[in-house]
Amino acid sequence: MIGATDPDLVDRFRSTMARLPGGITVVALRHGRLDVAMTATAVASVSLRPPMVLFCVHSDARVRDSLDEVDTWAVSILDAGGTLAAERLAEPGRPAFGQLLGIDHHRGARTGAALMDAAQGWLECRTSWIKTAGDHDVVVGEVLDAWTGSTGTGGLVHHLGRVRPLT
């Protein structure tokens, strides 16, 4: 039956998907004077012409709520030095204010969103559409700008429930 989910299937699904390494990014936006950010592993390239990406966000997350009022956001593709940002911005129930205290970042020229300094690359985007998919929403955006960093320190992946550096 569609909509009904076997709790054992949910556990098996989570365990199975934990074996798929996922690149770790930070999705951030500027909502008024407030920085709203989250760790995301469900980020993918959608199109080259025009350049588009997607990310998935829990339907009741602060980032999702902010997307109802703000249509620009940024993605930082974390490098091996981005563990602090990845772990802190994945904590449930973290305070709404001061999320980026102690995390080195700079502002995107197109979006004003926070871009993590410990990153291999950055994207600034404008939302094209949002669609509900189960307990998450899929956000697709057109890339306004993209550039690579010069840190050369590998990346971060999420695998088997842990943040792991790639060097």
CB 137 within 8 A of CB 63: no
In a domain, 42, yes or no: yes
Give pLDDT, residue 1.
42
Q: What's the CA dihedral at 84, 85, 88, 89 to 10 degrees?
A: -170
In a domain, 68, yes or no: yes
Overall domain count for the chain: 1
Output the average pLDDT for the chain: 92
pTM of the predicted structure, to 2 decimals: 0.92
In terms of residue numbers, what domain contains 119?
27-160
**In the beta sheet, which residues pair with residue 148?**
121
**3 band by pLDDT with thresholds 50, 70 and 90:** low
In a domain, 5, yes or no: no
In a domain, 93, yes or no: yes
CATH number for the domain harbouring residue 147: 2.30.110.10
Give pLDDT, residue 92.
86
Give pLDDT, residue 167.
76
Name every residue whose Cβ is closer than 8 Å to that of residue 15 and which is 6 or more positions away in sequence.
none
pLDDT, tens only, 78-124? 999 999 999 999 998 888 889 999 999 999 999 999 999 999 999 99
